[in-house]
Amino acid sequence: MHTVSLKSPVGRHPPFVKNLQLMIGLLRSFQQLQKSVQGHVYLTKTDLDTEGIYRCEASAESPTFQTVEAEKPLKVYVIPQEDPEIVGSQSRYEVGDYVNVTCKSGPSKPAAVLKWYINGKEADLDQEISYPTINHVNGLQTSLLGLRFMVKPKDLFQGGAITLKCTATVSQTYSTWSEELIVGEKFVGTAPMNTLTVITKDGPQITGGESQYRVGEMLNFNCSSAKSRPAPTLHWYLNEELVSDESLILYPTIQHEDGEETSILGLRLKVQQKHLDANEEVRLKCTATLSRVINVRSDERTVGGNHRNSGLQVAENYGKVSERNQSSSRSSAGLIVKVAALFTILAFL
């Protein structure tokens, strides 16, 4: 059950809920006055169509008829009902072969973030292959992430095994943003001082800067988040477009005595003519985003070794591993022959 809080107008007359409107697609109104208590509206049934921006009005009765409006976004999350699946593995690998597998998440909203692990360690980014997200007709999404690497002797545990693991994480995100800072040739924002501060309640704070900027001069601002745990991720926006990394300075996170943290992100950017809008101004904004993991699922597979549940084998030293029903003496002999043949070939090169 989702609850939307209403801001009550000031006055001695108690407000009542006038209406609640969901502004997505077709405009719909909810009037559940019998379930609205102390400025709350209850939605007893929700689905993916429930997500959107909600606007509510609280009105006083006669004689003032004062009305207060407010709106907030509401997000609907759907966690996957099944573990991610590892597909594409072969029945046997040899050293020098390429492992080429894909991890597929269960449908969710938002799409799950996938990550590969090889023998308990995160796979390198150049070993992972990104695929487009699959969008389902019901509004859910499926994530795909490939893994490709060559089997090396160092990858093998004792017994010739490699463990592959894929995790699928769904996180809830919450963002706050600073007020928009207007930078022009005549002024910065509305502050006449050389140093200014722009902050919203619980939002990131913009500090620094000069009283005015011209084309060719360097913008020099810092954005600091409010205290939280963990520290949020900060982003700078210039004219509603995300600022690239080369214009950013990432400072160490500040650790507070109460265990909370503060993030700081600097902006160093030379003002160019292309940055100016029709009013010869540049608009800056900083956002702080917090993520909270709400669901993690994983699939793990062992390649090779003596793991009977995998059915997959890896050959070490370029020697072909014998079938499981063969005796250990036959396996050892076959391995020695292959290694000896390899050294013989190298000797004649």
Residue 299 lies in a domain: yes
Residue ranges making up the domain that contains 134: 85-168+295-303
d(CA 107, CA 136): 8
Residue 36 lies in a domain: no
Give which of 76, 301, 295 is closest to 168, Cα–Cα. 295
d(CA 225, CA 236): 12
Judged by DSSP in three states, 220 sits in: strand
Domain count of the fold of the chain = 1
Phi-psi region of 266 (alpha: psi -120 to 50; beta: other; left: phi over 0): beta
CATH number at residue 147: 2.60.40.10
pLDDT of residue 199: 43
Residue 142 lies in a domain: yes
Q: Is 98 exposed, middle or buried (0-12, 13-18, 19+ CB in 10 A)?
A: exposed
d(CA 26, CA 127): 45
Residue 95 lies in a domain: yes
pLDDT of residue 185: 57
Compute mean pLDDT per 10 residues along the chain, 349 residues long, and list them.
40 40 41 55 75 75 75 83 90 84 94 92 94 94 95 72 89 75 56 40 79 81 87 89 92 91 92 79 85 84 56 37 32 27 26
Cis peptide before 14 (omega within 30 of 0): no
Identify each DSSP E strand in 139-274 by its residue range.
141-142, 144-150, 161-177, 181-184, 196-199, 205-208, 218-224, 233-238, 241-242, 248-250, 254-255, 261-262, 264-270
Tokens of 248: 């950013």
- Which residues share a beta bridge with 68? 58
pLDDT of residue 236: 93
Residue 151 lies in a domain: yes
Residue 240 lies in a domain: no
Residue 189 lies in a domain: no
pLDDT of residue 263: 93
**Residue 37: CB atoms within 10 Å:** 9
DSSP state of 253: P
CB contact set of 88 (below 8 Å; sequence gap of 6+): 100, 101, 102
pLDDT of residue 41: 64
- Give whole-number Cα distances, 73 to 43, 52, 133, 235, in Å: 14, 6, 24, 20
One-letter amino acid for residue 295 of the chain: N
Contact 314, 321 (CB under 8 A): yes
Give which of 264, 268, 219, 220 is closest to 246, Cα–Cα. 268
Tokens of 125: 């980014």
Residue 26 lies in a domain: no
